[in-house]
Every structure is written in structure tokens, then in C-alpha cells.
Amino acid sequence: MALSKKILNLAEKYRGYTAENLSKLVKISSLSRQEEGVVKELKRQMEEAGFDEVRVDPFGNVIGRVGSGKKILAIDAHLDTVDVGNPENWEFDPFSGEIKDGFVQGLGAVDQEGGAAAFVTTGRILKELGFDRDMSVYFVGSVMEEDCDGLCWKYIIEEDKIRPDAAISTEPTNLNLYRGHRGRMEIEVTFKGFSAHAAAPERGENAIYMASQACLAIEKLNERLKADEFLGKGSVAVTAFVSGSPSLCAVADYARIHLDRRLTWGETKESAVAEIERIVRGMEATVEVLQYKEKSYTGLTYGMEKYFPTWKMPENHPVVQTGVSAFRSLFGKDPKIGKWTFSTNGVTLNGLYGVPMIGFGPGNEVLAHTPNERVPVDDLVKASAFYAQFAYNISID
């Protein structure tokens, strides 16, 4: 029997197993920096599936391995989720994990514990097939992605000393093959004014007015940002405005705005900062790229600058084409090739460290960060087969 047929048969055989594993993950609340429970459950699932090694690193990432070769393929799924939001917007319990009408329902089913459940089955398939390639396949349940994209992989590469030769992100792609997305960064602009009694505002310098002028100019900046033919247009948005004054009867001597900047191909941290500095030139203002430094659930503090580089893989790259061949072997057709709208751990894996990678995941990304998340069980089955086929197909020099 052809290998692809064996893989598909096993993925289908474990359909219920995969869905139940995801259900168990969804039932555990796992906000960023609070992932301990879901990490323990995924570790248990990996051990049950017969992985060669399973461990939790000091930062809290759970790392399973199948195979013991020198070349490394990493398959990543972040385990943290956003919060529930308004419970009244949910048609079902966000933590039900109910398997109903061919879907697994609940918070994180799409973004993105479905990828983790699928790759547990992949590990089981590889073990059952006697995976004997000269390769180590690392399955990573990563933490704190929602808080700080890629921080988990910065730790894994720099501290755990695991640097993949190729990688797959299991973020939702609707079973399409993704090869990049825009980068992003968080910028803070602080304005200093001079307070005066509000009865005579001309005696002061109002920081709110300065910040407001900057906001209007930033709105115009967004309209003229350039576009890349694949990744699309960059964007900038003011997402917070804070001000302060000695009293409500005084001119504001302080204001601060927060910017979400999405970076298309060719845009850099330096170019994005320079654009804002030009807007506030002549004002008493400082422009700063923010830093992230928080404790993980293990108590370890680790951080990085909140600059998450743009990345894209050429469509003819061997890793992308391995994805195409794996999909074709399993499903008898070519995949749709695209990109994410949002950001992923690829900002570090490829954006910072240049690891060749693709995205392939169960579920539709439009359901990420929305009520009523649910993922098709069919997607879980196909994703678990795809990761196994990819591991067999890839050639790493």
C-alpha cells in the first residue's frame, strides 16, 4: 500500500481520538501566562501517543520528539488563547469542548489548539509507521503567543538551543498552504505639554491637542502606505489615547498614544519609526518601540522588543514545494497557497532567524478571536495526515 494511503487510513482511524484530545484541551482555560493546565494535558497526550521524548522547558513550552536524527523539523501550535469576551455572545459554553455535528466547539478550537491535537495524532502515526528518517521531528506546544508573538520560539532557539532546519505553523489556514504574513510592531508616542488654568488655556501648551494633531496625521499616513503584491498593504492605527492634567480645570500636560503598525514587505522597524518621528517633529514628543518582559506561568521572566518582522517564503522554495507535494500525495490536488491576515510565531522562526517554514492548520482564521469558535473534525484528520506526509517528503540538506 502506498505510504500516503497508509497515512490517510491511520488519520481516519484516529478521527475520534483526535477530536477527543482537542475536546480535553478546550475544556482547560489557558490565557497567556496561565497555560500550565493545558500544557500538562498536552504532555500527557504526547506521552500516551508514544513520543520518543516529552518535556516541558523552563519557560513552559511543552516539547515532544519523534525520531533522533540531526536535522530538525519543528511543528508548532501555541496553546494560549484570548479571553472569552462577552459570554452572552456565545451560543454555547466556551469551555464545553463539545463534539457536535462534525465540529469540536469551544474557545481555542481554531486559535489554535486544533493544531496541537492534530499533531499529537501525527506523532502517533509516525510511531506506528516506524518513522526511520534521519530526522528529529519536534512537536511544540508553545506559550504566550497571544501576549507576544514569537517570544516562545526566541526562548527555544536561544535558550533550549533547538534551531529547526524547517518548520510548520499549525495556525488556522482552512487547510490552505500559507507562506507568510505581514509583520507588526507596537509604538508608543508620548507628548509633553505645559499645564495652565483652563480659564486661560493660551497660557499653557495642551498635550491633547498635540496628540490629536498627530492622530489625524497618522490616519492620513495609513492611507498612503505602500502595498506588496503578495502580502498587501501596510497599515497603522491608533489603538489607545491616554492623557493627564493636574485637574479637570487645567490644560493637559501629558498625552500618550499607542500605535498598532502592520508592516508589509520592504517596511522595517526603522522606516516605521521614522514616519512617526516626521509627524511629531517640532512637538515635545518621544517615539518608542515597546518592550515586552513578563513572567511565564513557570515564574521565569523573559522578554523581547515588540517588533515582529514581516516574512514570506518564495513559492518555489523547497519547503513550500514539499508542502505542495505532501498535499497532492494525500488529496490528489494542489493546495491553495495564501497568507495569514494576522501575525504568528513565524515572526521569530522565519522573520528573525530565517527558518524556512510554511503554515498549514485546521479551521478558518476568520473564527480566531471571535465567539462560537469551532473546528471541523475533518480538518483535524486531514491536518494530522498532512504533517506526517510532510515529515516523510521533506529533504533537508
Mean pLDDT of 164-184: 98
CA pair distance 312, 394, nearest whole angstrom? 19
Cell of 83: 479571553
Percentage of the chain lying above the pLDDT 90 cut: 99
**Cβ–Cβ < 8 Å for 174, 109:** no
CA pair distance 123, 129, nearest whole angstrom? 10
pLDDT tens sequence across 104-129: 999 999 999 999 999 999 999 999 99
Task: For residue 1, name the pLDDT band (cuts at 50, 70, 90).
Answer: confident
Q: Does domain 183-295 have CATH number 3.30.70.360?
A: yes
Percentage of the chain lying above the pLDDT 70 cut: 100
CA pair distance 117, 163, nearest whole angstrom? 23
3.40.630.10, 1.20.1510.10, 1.10.10.60, 3.40.50.300: CATH of 3-181+310-393: 3.40.630.10
Domain map of the chain by residue range?
3-181+310-393, 183-295
Task: For residue 305, name the pLDDT band (cuts at 50, 70, 90).
Answer: very high
Residue 80: is its pLDDT beyond 90?
Answer: yes
The pLDDT, as a whole number, for residue 174 is 98
**Cβ–Cβ < 8 Å for 63, 55:** yes
| Sequence-ordered list of residues with C-beta below 8 angstroms from that of 304, at least 6 positions apart, any chain | 148, 150, 151, 154, 291, 292
Mean pLDDT of the chain: 98
3-state secondary structure the chain: CCHHHHHHHHHHHCHHHHHHHHHHHHCCCCECCCCHHHHHHHHHHHHHCCCCEEEECCCCCEEEEECCCCEEEEEEEECCECCCCCHHHCCCCCCCCCEECCEEECCCHHHHHHHHHHHHHHHHHHHHHCCCCCEEEEEEEECCCCCCCCHHHHHHHHCCCCCCCEEEECCCCCCCEECEECEEEEEEEEEECECCECCCHHHCECHHHHHHHHHHHHHHHHHHCCEECCCEECEEEEEEEEEECCCCCECCCEEEEEEEEEECCCCCHHHHHHHHHHHCCCCCEEEEECEEEEECCCCCEEEEECEECCEECCCCCHHHHHHHHHHHHHHCCCCCEECCCCCCCHHHHCCCCCCCEEECCCCCHHHCCCCCCEEEHHHHHHHHHHHHHHHHHCCCC
| Active-site residue (options: 145, 146, 228, 275) | 145
pLDDT tens sequence across 308-364: 999 999 999 999 999 999 999 999 999 999 999 999 999 999 999 999 999 999 999
| Active-site residue (options: 41, 57, 76, 80) | 80
The count of C-alpha atoms lying within 13 angstroms of the C-alpha of 50, restricted to the half-sphere facing its C-beta, is 11
**Cβ–Cβ < 8 Å for 9, 389:** no
pLDDT tens sequence across 193-232: 999 999 999 999 999 999 999 999 999 999 999 999 999 9
Mean pLDDT of 173-192: 98
Residue 397: is its pLDDT beyond 80?
Answer: no
The pLDDT, as a whole number, for residue 273 is 98
Tell me whether residue 186 is one of the annotated catalytic residues.
no
Tell me whether residue 80 is one of the annotated catalytic residues.
yes
